[in-house]
Structure 1
C-alpha cells in the first residue's frame, strides 16, 4: 500500500518552486557572466541587447504555444519535456563562439523556458482550492527571484574557478536533474497515489466554482474575454521592470559604478531577496483583505495597485549617490514587481477554468514579454547615449498605467459575471 503524504499539495507546489528557481537560475546565468562574455567577444551594449532579445523573442512567441501544449499534453509530460529542453539549451551556451551564436542558443533557451509560469499557474489551478491560490502562486513565484538571487554567487564562483562557459554547464545540469525528479514525483490530484482522501476532498470542494459554465473554454474564447485583457495589458506594462532587473542590473553596476565581478556578486542578489518578500506579500495580503470584507478579485486588484505605487522607488535610482543606495532602490522595485505580478498571475487561476488556465496564462505572458522586448530594445538603443536613469522612471510610469487599466477593465460587474459563470466575461 502506498504511503499517504499529509498536505501533499504544498509538497507539489514546493517541487514547482524548485523548478522555477532552476529555470530562472539558468536564464540569469548570462546576465551575471555578461562582463566576462562581453570582454571575450568584444560585444557592445547594443549587441548584448540583441542577444537578450533573442531570448525574449523566442520566449514571447513560445509562451502561448507552451500554454497550449501544457493543456494538451498535461502538466506532467509537458513540463518535463520543456525542462529537458531548457537544460540542454542552457548548457549549449558554453559552445558559443561569438555574440551571434550566443543569440541563437539564447533563443533556444527562451523557447524552452517559456513553459515555467503557465505550468505553475496550471498546477495551482489543479491542486489548490480558490482561497489558497494566492499563497500557492506566491510560493512558486518566489522561485523566480530565488533563482536570480543565487545566480550571482554561483556563477561568479564558476567563472573565477573554471571560466564563464562552466557556469552554463553547471546550471544546466541542475535543471536536468530536476526534470527527472518532476517526472517521477508529479501526478494530477485524481491520479496521485500519495494523496489522502481528506485532502482530495478539500481540493475538489474548494474548486467547485471552476465547474461553472460559460467561462472561456478554448483559445478563441479566452482572447475574446474581457477578463483576459484585464490581465494581459497590465502584464504588458509591468514586464519591462522585471526583465530590466533580470538582464541589466549587473551591467548597470559595472557601467555606472565600475564594480568588478566580486562586487557585483556581493550586491546583485539583494533585489531578488527583496522580491521574495514581495511574492510573499502577494500571497498573504489578499486573504487578509478578504477577511476585512474585500471580494476575491478586488483583493487581487488592491494588491497589484499597492505594488505599482511602490515602483516609485526604482524611479529614483538616478538620484542615488552610491551603489548601496542604487541597490536599495532596486530592492524596492523587486519587492514591488513581484507583489503586483503575483496578483496578476493569481487572477488567471481565478478567472479561467483548469482546462484553459495554462493557455490564458501563456498568452498573457506572450503579451507581457512583447512589452519587455520593446523596452530591452529601447535600452540597447539609448543606454550608452543617455544612461539608465530615464529608463528607470519609465518603468514606474508603465506600472502606474497598468494599475489604472486593471481597475478600468476588471470592474465589479465583471467580477459578478465570473462568479455566476455568465459567458464572455
Structure 2
C-alpha cells in the first residue's frame, strides 16, 4: 500500500505546487517595495531611517499577525482561510499606489504585513496535512522557493512598471495577480480526507505517516508555548531571520548606495541571490532525507544537520566587506541566500514534525512571530547604523547569529518524539 502511495499517487505534489505559486505571488508583492525604494526615497524625500520605519511597519504587523493568522487557518481550514488572506493582501498591496509620503506608505505596508502573515503557516499546515515525515523537508523546500522566486521576479517587473507607467503601477500589478490565485486555491484545495481525487494508496501513506510521528500533544497556543519543542524552534528562528530580512529589504539599497549601481543595474543583478536561495531551499529539502537514508540519521537529527550546514555557510556573506567589486559582493550574497533558505526550510519543517496537524499553523505562526521580532529589530539597527558605521559589520553579525542558532538547536532539541516516522 505504501509503495502504491509513492509510485501511483502524486496529488500531494500538485497541492504543494499550488502553495508554491501562492508563495511566489505573496513574496512578489512584499518584495516590490525594496526594488522601488530608491525611486520612492527620491519621490517622498525619505531618509534611510524613514525607509526602515516603513519596513518596520510591515514587519511589526506581520509579527503580530502570524499567530493570529495561524489560529484563523486552524479554525477556518485552509481552503477558505488561505483564499481570504490572499484577497486581503492583494487589496493591501494595490493600495500602496495611493501613498503620498512615508507615513501613508507605512500604513499600507502595515496592512500588507498583517494580511500576508498567513502564507508560511498555511504552507507548513499543508505539509503537515499532506506529506509523510520523510518527505516534509522536500515539500517545504519546494513551496519555500516561492519566497525567493517572488523576489527574483520583483526587480524586472517593478522596474519595467516604473519606467513604463510610474511607480504606482508596480504595486497595482504585483498585487492584482493575487486575486487570480485566491480563486484558483479555493477551487482546487481540499484536505486529504475530503479530496475525491486522492488514491487510496496515497491516502494510506499520508495517514500512516501522520499517526507514526508521535507529535507533541498540544491543543492550544497555551499548550504550545509551554513546550520545550516550541522554544527549540522559536529561538533559532529569532536568531536566523535577520539575515533574510536584510537580504530582502536592503540589497537594492546597498547595491545603489555602496556599490554604485543604478536602478537598471539593480534589476539586472539583485535577483541572483534569490535564485541561489531557491537552490538552497530545494537542495536543503532533499539533503535531510538523503542523510536519513545514507547514514541512518534520525528524523530530527537530519533537520539539525541541515540547519547547521546552512549556518556555517553564512560565513560567506559575513565577508562582503572584503569584496573588491559589486560582482564579488553579489556572489557572497548568493552564498548567503543559498545558506539561509537551506537552514530556514529545516527549521520551519520542525513545526510539522513536532506538533499535531490541527495546531501546526498556530505553532508555525507563533514561531514565525519570534522570527519576525528578530528581523524587525535588526532592520531598525540597519536603518540606524548603516549610514554611520556602514553595512559591513552588520553583515558579519548575521553569520554570528546563525551559528548561535545552531548551538541553541542542538542544545535544546536533544530528545525526540516517541516515534520518528520514516515513511
User: Normalized against structure 1, the TM-score is what?
Assistant: 0.95
Matches within 5 A, 1:8-23: 8-23=11-26
- CA RMSD across the alignment: 1.3
Q: State the alpha-carbon separation in 1 of the partners of residues 320 and 215 from structure 2.
A: 48
Gapped regions of structure 2 (runs ≥ 5) = 1-7
Q: State the alpha-carbon separation in 1 of the partners of residues 222 and 419 from structure 2.
A: 18
Q: State the alpha-carbon separation in 2 of the partners of residues 17 and 387 from structure 1.
A: 36
- 1:107-166 CA distance string (max 9 Å, x none): 000000000000000001111111111100101111101001111111111111111110
Does 2:246 match 1:244? Answer: yes
Gapped regions of structure 1 (runs ≥ 5) = 421-425
Q: State the alpha-carbon separation in 2 of the partners of residues 79 and 408 from structure 1.
A: 35
Question: How far is 1:325 from its partner?
Answer: 0.4
Question: How far is 1:206 from its partner?
Answer: 2.0
- SS of 2:324's equivalent? coil
Q: Is the 8 A contact 2:82 2:118 kept in 1?
A: yes
Question: How far is 1:176 from its partner?
Answer: 1.1
Which consecutive aligned stretches of 4+ in structure 1 deviate over 3 angstroms post-superposition? 416-420
- SS of 2:356's equivalent? coil
Q: State the alpha-carbon separation in 2 of the partners of residues 335 and 214 from structure 1.
A: 31
Q: State the alpha-carbon separation in 1 of the partners of residues 48 and 238 from structure 2.
A: 24
Does 2:307 match 1:304? Answer: yes
Q: Is the 8 A contact 1:351 1:418 kept in 2?
A: no
Pick the aligned partner of 2:126 from 123, 127, 137.
123
Partner of 1:278: 280
User: Normalized against structure 2, the TM-score is what?
Assistant: 0.96
- 1:339-391 CA distance string (max 9 Å, x none): 00000011111111101111110000000000001001101110011110010
TM-aligned CA distance change 1:214 to 1:40, over 3 Å: closer
Matches within 5 A, 1:26-425: 26-210=29-213, 212=214, 215-291=217-293, 292-411=295-414, 414-417=415-418, 419=420
Q: State the alpha-carbon separation in 2 of the partners of residues 173 and 374 from structure 1.
A: 30
- SS of 2:357's equivalent? coil
Question: How far is 1:204 from its partner?
Answer: 1.3
TM-aligned CA distance change 1:43 to 1:302, over 3 Å: same
Q: State the alpha-carbon separation in 2 of the partners of residues 61 and 379 from structure 1.
A: 21
Q: Is the 8 A contact 2:215 2:356 kept in 1?
A: no
Q: How many residues align?
A: 413
Q: Is the 8 A contact 2:82 2:122 kept in 1?
A: yes
Q: State the alpha-carbon separation in 1 of the partners of residues 206 and 158 from structure 2.
A: 40
Question: How far is 1:196 from its partner?
Answer: 2.0
Q: State the alpha-carbon separation in 2 of the partners of residues 195 and 289 from structure 1.
A: 29
